[in-house]
């Protein structure tokens, strides 16, 4: 929006923000002689003229709320449903803070000031950073579509996020966890999570066609969204991998398959671990088993995902390389290095390690 400053009797300085040039604000100034209403009318015409010269014609009279709507509409059929819902949830909070701002003339300082309001939502620093990332994604998309200038978010920094050190199980604790789990119906899926570092959705989406009992290997090629309960692709391409299992677990899988075969539920496309409706085993069932095991064994609380972190930690502690651990967990080495700050080396079950 054009700014007016009084410079004397019926003398006005008009300032129009044009964006940034080499990191500095580019503002056009012009002096107008006349009454304030006349100056406002002239300033608006001048501003419209600059809008037409800039290559962002689509942003005329468009608000941030409208930009958010266009972004979500564009992404709806182009991204994973869970990702879309994540965007939608975060954008709803961003609407409260930025929705009334109009795109033309919007300044990074104003955006940064408004984003401080995220602190009022009682969000953690990591969640706040995720909102910054989503806003950046929207604005980059908007710049490509010629709705906003490409430099609009320059200089805006998300909050620093401290690295969380998870209190994962050591080898003796993990042994106790697995031994105690043997007392429960859903022992085997819990054990496999604890030994392989698979994501919970990868375990839920495992099918018999991707289990080779002869070669003692399983292939991770798809996963289940545990919250929305549907089969999907793996989290990333790096998540597609092959994991070697120990002899004991393979024997237990053979027994499990024989049992499922008698129920006609062990065909190639059947899930390895099933609910009574023949669909994949529900997340809540695995969660309840984990809670019962912890209580029975007297172990400190961990999340299901911490079993995955525990695999990485134990492997690194036993001299495996970051690259090997990344292969095991289905990550890129940089992600693995970022998740494990201590010196903790092709994907094998850690059963042989913890049974020393």
- pLDDT (tens digit, 9 = 90+) per residue, 151-181? 788 888 888 887 777 789 999 999 999 999 9
Please check the confidence at residue 54 and state whether its pLDDT lies above 70: no
Which one is predicted more confidently, 150 or 131? 131
At residue 104 the predicted structure's pLDDT band, cuts being 50, 70 and 90, is confident
Alpha carbons 177 and 14: distance in angstroms, whole number: 71
Given the DSSP bridges, would you call strands 3-8 and 211-212 parallel, antiparallel or unpaired? unpaired
This prediction has a pTM of 0.72
Higher-confidence position of 12 and 26: 12
- Contact between 67 and 39 under an 8 Å Cβ cutoff? The reply is no
Q: Which CATH code of 1.10.150, 2.40.128, 1.10.3470, 1.10.1760 fits the domain covering 64-145?
A: 1.10.150
Between 338 and 23, name the one with better pLDDT: 338
Report residue 182's pLDDT band, with 50, 70 and 90 as the boundaries. Answer: very high
Of 38-47, 203-212, 304-313, 347-356, which range is least confident? 347-356
Q: What is the pLDDT of residue 343?
A: 41
Range picked from 19-28, 86-95, 228-237, 314-323 for highest mean pLDDT: 86-95
Local confidence band at 1 (pLDDT 50, 70, 90 cut-offs):
low
The predicted structure's pLDDT at residue 23: 66
Provide the residue ranges of all domains of the chain, joining segments of one domain with +: 2-53, 64-145, 171-345
Domain over 171-345 is classified CATH 1.10.443.10: yes
Please write down the long-range contacts of 336-341, taking CB distance under 8 Å and 24 or more positions apart.
336/312, 339/309, 339/312, 340/312, 340/313, 340/316, 341/163, 341/165
**How far is Cα 111 from Cα 343, in angstroms, rounded to an integer?**
41
Phi, psi of 319, deg, nearest 5: 90, 5
- pLDDT, averaged across the chain: 89
CA atoms within 13 A on the CB side of 82: 14
Which has more confidence, 206 or 60? 206
């Amino acid at each position: 929006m054009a700014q007016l400053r009084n410079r004397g009797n019926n003398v006005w300085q008009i300032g129009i923000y044009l964006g940034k040039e080499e990191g500095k604000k580019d503002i056009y100034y012009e002096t107008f002689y006349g009454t304030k209403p006349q100056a406002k009318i002239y300033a608006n015409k001048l501003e419209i003229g600059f809008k037409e010269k800039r290559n962002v014609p689509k942003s005329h009279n468009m608000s941030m709320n409208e930009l958010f709507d266009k972004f979500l509409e564009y992404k709806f059929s182009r991204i994973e449903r869970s990702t879309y819902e994540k965007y939608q949830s975060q954008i709803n909070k961003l609407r409260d803070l930025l929705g009334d701002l109009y795109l033309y003339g919007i300044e990074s300082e104003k955006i940064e000031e408004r984003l401080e309001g995220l602190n009022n939502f009682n969000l953690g620093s990591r969640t706040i950073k995720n909102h910054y990332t989503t806003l950046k994604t929207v604005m980059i998309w908007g710049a490509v579509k010629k709705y906003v200038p490409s430099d609009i978010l320059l200089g805006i920094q998300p909050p620093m996020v401290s690295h969380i050190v998870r209190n994962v199980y050591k080898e003796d604790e993990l042994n106790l966890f697995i031994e105690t789990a043997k007392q429960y119906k859903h022992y085997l899926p819990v054990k496999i999570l604890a030994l392989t570092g698979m994501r919970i959705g990868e375990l839920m989406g495992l099918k018999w066609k991707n289990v080779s009992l002869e070669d003692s290997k399983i292939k991770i090629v798809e996963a289940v969204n545990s919250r929305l309960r549907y089969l999907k692709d793996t989290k990333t391409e790096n998540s597609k991998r092959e994991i070697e299992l120990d002899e004991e677990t393979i024997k237990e899988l053979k027994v499990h398959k024989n049992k499922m075969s008698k129920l006609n539920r062990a065909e190639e496309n059947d899930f390895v671990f099933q609910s009574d409706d023949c669909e994949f085993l529900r997340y809540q069932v695995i969660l309840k088993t984990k809670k019962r095991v912890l209580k029975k064994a007297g172990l400190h609380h961990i999340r299901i995902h911490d079993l995955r972190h525990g695999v990485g930690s134990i492997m690194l502690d036993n001299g495996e390389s970051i690259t090997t651990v990344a292969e095991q967990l289905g990550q890129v080495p940089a992600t693995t290095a970022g998740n494990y700050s201590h010196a903790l080396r092709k994907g094998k079950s850690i059963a042989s390690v913890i049974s020393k």
